[in-house]
């Protein structure tokens, strides 16, 4: 993407949150990452998200993240839009990665600085400092998992900053979704940050979703999204309900390690997680395998086991 206008025009649809496949010793598997990217682009995903919370960015150094940005953009080119997570607790690191992401043609995805007792005024000022650094604009990432939840009122306040293209909304409480969907639709691109509960936000007029579990079940989650996109809520709900057992495991065992385990069972490039996360153990993998086999046996899913 070349500028903010192009970012706004192209930022919609279903984006695969591409997990970062690490080797057992923690090294990057860039070849595996490239294969994962090619898989979802080939299936028709509208975009990808790199290095987010489930991409394990807190376990990477800034130089590692910068190298990953460059390698990913070399693979993708301009075929689909790419969100590049530039979140950091140190504003200097966030600024460096935000500028680089925009220079490479990606859309920087910025969280509030996750430091203790940061105020709404400081968060607003931070986003206003980040936005001009990227020629493609920035995406606000409201990520409660980092310990800070942006209120709809604060998001609306930040949205006035030049260069803010959209919001990836991780607070999926009904009140927050209702406020954002009705007050910011048409002003910002609105993305549901979770594939666990995207039907409601999409019905309310959100522009798209980002999906971690589509790394493991890209065919099924893509089909569910396309159904809701064309207004077929019944089919979307039926397809979404099919993989509920896997969502239950993901809640029990944690992410992204559960998705990585399912990817590995399918012959995809899930790889390992980096410390402090831990790969699933044998009993947990057996539980994941049982669900993957169940999905593979359902002709509606398109899921197949590794040969």
Q: Which domains does the chain have, with CATH numbers?
A: 4-233 (3.20.20.70)
The residue from 135, 141, 187, 304 that is catalytic is: 141
267-290 in b/e burial notation, b at 16+ Cβ within 10 A?
Answer: ebbbbbbbeebebbeeebbebbee
Residue 54: active-site member: no
**Region 70-83: what's the mean pLDDT?**
98
For position 306, what pLDDT does the model report? 78
Q: What distance in Å separates the CA atoms of residue 85 and residue 78, rounded to the nearest whole number?
A: 18
Q: What distance in Å separates the CA atoms of residue 99 and residue 82, rounded to the nearest whole number?
A: 14
CB 45 within 8 A of CB 18: no
Q: pLDDT grade, residue 100 (50/70/90)?
A: very high
Q: pLDDT averaged over the chain?
A: 95
pTM: predicted TM-score of the whole model, two decimal places: 0.95
Q: pLDDT grade, residue 123 (50/70/90)?
A: very high
Residue 304: active-site member: no
Lowest mean pLDDT among 14-18, 41-45, 300-304: 300-304
The residue from 54, 99, 135, 168 that is catalytic is: 168
CB 303 within 8 A of CB 219: yes
């Amino acid at each position: 993407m070349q500028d903010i206008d192009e970012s706004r025009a192209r930022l919609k649809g279903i984006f695969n949150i591409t997990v970062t496949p690490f080797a057992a010793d923690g090294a990057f598997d860039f070849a595996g990452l490239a294969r994962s990217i090619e898989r979802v682009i080939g299936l028709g995903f509208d975009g990808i998200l790199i290095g987010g919370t489930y991409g394990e960015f807190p376990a990477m150094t800034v130089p590692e993240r910068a190298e990953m940005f460059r390698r990913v953009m070399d693979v993708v080119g301009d075929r689909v839009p790419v969100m590049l997570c530039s979140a950091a607790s140190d504003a200097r690191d966030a600024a460096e990665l935000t500028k680089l992401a925009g220079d490479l043609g990606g859309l920087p995805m910025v969280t509030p600085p996750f430091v203790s007792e940061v105020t709404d005024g400081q968060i607003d000022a931070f986003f206003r400092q980040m936005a001009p650094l990227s020629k493609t604009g920035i995406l606000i990432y409201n990520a409660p998992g980092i310990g800070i939840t942006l209120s709809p009122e604060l998001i609306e306040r930040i949205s006035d900053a030049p260069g803010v293209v959209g919001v990836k909304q991780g607070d999926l409480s009904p009140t927050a979704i209702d406020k954002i969907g009705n007050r910011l639709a048409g002003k910002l691109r609105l993305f549901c940050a979770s594939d666990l509960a995207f039907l409601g936000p999409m019905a309310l007029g959100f522009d798209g979703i980002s999906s971690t579990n589509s790394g493991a079940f890209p065919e099924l989650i893509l089909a569910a999204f396309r159904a809701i996109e064309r207004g077929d809520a019944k089919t979307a709900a039926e397809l979404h309900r099919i993989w509920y057992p896997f969502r239950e495991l993901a809640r029990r065992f944690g992410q992204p390690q559960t998705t990585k385990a399912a990817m590995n069972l399918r012959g995809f490039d899930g790889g390992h997680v980096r410390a402090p996360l831990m790969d699933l153990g044998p009993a947990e993998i057996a539980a994941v395998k049982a669900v993957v086999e169940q999905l593979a046996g359902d002709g509606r899913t398109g899921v197949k086991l590794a040969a």
